[in-house]
């Protein structure tokens, strides 16, 4: 159980970092953010599985 909790908190931290990068990307170059969006979607999906 501890491993799942640890993985979840790491995902949450990564989610915050990716969200920040995505917001910065929207602010500076909105047309080039698909990679961050995809990573964030994958991360959110994995988080729902754990």
Give the pLDDT confidence of 19-38 residue by residue, as tens digits: 999 999 999 998 889 988 99
Which two tokens mark 13? 């931290």
What mean pLDDT comes out for the span 4-13?
68
pTM score: 0.65
Question: What is the average pLDDT score of the chain?
Answer: 81
* pLDDT the model gives residue 28: 94
Q: 40-48: long-range contacts at Cβ-Cβ below 8 A with a sequence spacing of 24 or more?
A: 40/15, 43/11, 43/14, 43/15, 43/18, 44/15, 46/11, 47/8, 47/11, 47/12, 47/15
* pLDDT the model gives residue 1: 43
Give residue limits of the domains in the chain: 2-49
- Model confidence at 49, pLDDT cuts 50, 70, 90, reads confident
């Amino acid at each position: 159980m501890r491993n799942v909790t640890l993985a979840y908190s790491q995902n949450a931290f990564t989610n915050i970092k990716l969200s920040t990068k995505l917001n910065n990307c929207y602010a500076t170059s909105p047309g080039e953010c698909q990679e961050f969006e995809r990573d964030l979607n994958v991360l959110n999906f994995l988080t729902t599985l754990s």
